[in-house]
Structure 1
């Protein structure tokens, strides 16, 4: 059977999975961590077992080499890698869909690095290493931003001088697009009239955003030119008065970049709770009576509900509300707090269904009388990357 190696390169990590493009569990998955350090290691998960090993080369090449060696050492599994699919964070205005990677595409990804200076250079590094080690196998880029290229100008433009857009392409791009596209496809299989319906999706995890989808296309989303805009997140502040950057810089006697790092890495759930960026830890603290934890959860839910209501202004009605992502799929507390704040939209949550929602399964958690269907749908970005890769390889061959 044909398999795809799905790769997600970060600056110091490389996540990977081997998939067949169906909903079967990955044949292999894992992560290489601490790349660039002499303590780098790689973890392989296969058939219920987990094995860690040190990397001989402490960089992305070392990680890709270790993955290839694992495949070569397990010939009895009949793994036939036909292509490699890469998650790419930022595709700018150049890429509105997944593409086979050639030199022009690589140059385009590098050009978009101005908007994703930590991520895109790492993606390019991962692509070049897989090209070098896997020979002539086709590589495919799947962009987080591509799904939102259907936004109208009145939604993606910032109210700043137009020359800044014309000369520098400063605009809203949005993220989590692969997740939203997966959810749209999954919901289309559940709702026969989805092609004519309107949906709100809340992708809630350490990174969090919302999206309004009309007839399967994105019409608004909360993240902007970077993932910092929009909702309160695990460590990100989300949207706030831009002047706050200058106030923090002056008050703390730090640079503007250092102030921006505070908004990206020390804020959100972590900053308000002063406990953790992990929602599970905060919920445990809340259950034990911690007021800071309660405040953090209420703020998180409030910001999410406000942004859902905001993007909903681009829809004539809301037929579906979907929760996905690590928090969206697994926190009945957060789902309940958000839906409670959306009662003015006629959303009514079935409290029992919300509490008993099985982990990892699709569940409808709204009451019969609710004006919108409320769903929990687990996302699977890696599967969509694998499917895109197989589809583009097939088109190229024909």
Structure 2
């Protein structure tokens, strides 16, 4: 069964084609800078344990045009992996916000599309684009089942004392204001890998997703019971350009005494803060370079970043009443050994003991980097959101 996974952002489309249930990625690619000068497609085909990369530079005006180009790469030329659109049995779509309506992979019909439209205001940068790609895929792969996999779905098991805010109930009932959580597909995937590695279903796990966006989730017996991102993806950890948790009084102060508008505040907290605001760059590699040059602000940015993660680990250890494992995943979590070391430093009280040699020896596969005497396993697990979406689609259709 061929399942195409589409993970669309505001100006990009990531995609992979899987043969299921073989769990085999046939090809993958990225359409980048959609609607912006310098658009390009990077398409990789995997055949006989060899990887062929095709790069195309051409202006791509919108997501619809991008998907048409992807179809051409899949079905035309010497590196074609399908002969016709009908060879794709299902298209799995990452949809960022599912509200309280969706707790798992869902076949897309008119009612589901209507619910996704209703949630545009809760995820204005993502849900409209996700919706557009669903419409284009329906027109492009006319015989395929269209399936939505929601970032928020994994967190629908969070209990009410964790998802409700301490404001009058009316705001929850009338405006749907509550904790939703994000990165759910990633947290679900890596936690299942960890549970399998631990060999125990009754597990207490803290999953730490560190990319440009960052979140941390407490997972008990395979279910999310608390998470750092809330109503939107701004709260919690320090991120590439987002502030993470901040006292709301700061917002009132800037509005009242500095004349900030809501738009200016949104830009400040979402696009000008985090590592960028404190350290001068949203890219951890640039931050490291600045530190090597003696930049104290960049050093402070790293300290803030690691400190906030440690605070949440302590908090979630209390919520879980213990920890069996912590997981580092996503771009920074998988590739920055110094962040992993900084986070795990001085957590021996919780039974978290890092092995420095194992930490340095991580090689892009599930790796235990904890000391032999560590009571808590420290795992680095590469996330694979696209495979998780394909797997959920396959399970739904079967």
What is the TM-score with the length of structure 1 in the denominator? 0.93
User: Is 1:292 the counterpart of 2:285 in the alignment?
Assistant: no
Show the counterpart of 1:380: 384
Show the counterpart of 1:231: 237
Once the 2 structures are TM-superposed, how far is the Cα of residue 75 of structure 1 from its aligned partner? 7.2
Cα distance in 2 between the residues matched to 1:32 and 1:100: 25
- Counterparts in 2 of 1:383 and 1:23: CA distance versus 1, 3 Å: farther
- Counterparts in 2 of 1:286 and 1:24: CA distance versus 1, 3 Å: farther
Cα distance in 2 between the residues matched to 1:52 and 1:102: 34
Cα distance in 2 between the residues matched to 1:75 and 1:92: 43
Identify the match of residue 108 of structure 2 among 101, 112, 125. 101
Cα distance in 2 between the residues matched to 1:251 and 1:27: 57
Once the 2 structures are TM-superposed, how far is the Cα of residue 37 of structure 1 from its aligned partner? 4.3
Contact kept in structure 2, 1:23 and 1:383, CA below 8 Å: no
Show the counterpart of 1:191: 198
Show the counterpart of 2:63: 60
Cα distance in 2 between the residues matched to 1:171 and 1:147: 15
Cα distance in 1 between the residues matched to 2:148 and 2:277: 34
**Deviation digits for residues 272-303 of structure 1 (CA, Å, limit 9, x no counterpart):** 112x1111221222233322221111110001
- Counterparts in 2 of 1:40 and 1:353: CA distance versus 1, 3 Å: closer
- Counterparts in 2 of 1:187 and 1:371: CA distance versus 1, 3 Å: same
Cα distance in 2 between the residues matched to 1:24 and 1:94: 29
User: Is 1:213 the counterpart of 2:219 in the alignment?
Assistant: yes
Show the counterpart of 1:389: 393
Contact kept in structure 1, 2:284 and 2:332, CA below 8 Å: yes
Q: RMSD across aligned C-alpha pairs, in angstroms?
A: 1.8
Gaps in structure 1 of 5+ consecutive residues: none
Show the counterpart of 1:132: 139
User: Is 1:160 the counterpart of 2:167 in the alignment?
Assistant: yes
Once the 2 structures are TM-superposed, how far is the Cα of residue 237 of structure 1 from its aligned partner? 0.2
How many residue pairs are counted as aligned between the two chains? 389
What is the TM-score with the length of structure 2 in the denominator? 0.93
**Deviation digits for residues 101-121 of structure 1 (CA, Å, limit 9, x no counterpart):** 111111111112221011111
> Which stretch of the first structure deviates more once superposed, 290-299 or 233-242?
290-299
Show the counterpart of 2:261: 255
Identify the match of residue 349 of structure 2 among 337, 344, 353. 344
Identify the match of residue 267 of structure 1 among 270, 273, 295. 273
Show the counterpart of 2:338: 333
Show the counterpart of 1:357: 362
Identify the match of residue 85 of structure 1 among 92, 97, 111. 92
Gaps in structure 2 of 5+ consecutive residues: 46-50
Once the 2 structures are TM-superposed, how far is the Cα of residue 25 of structure 1 from its aligned partner? 6.5
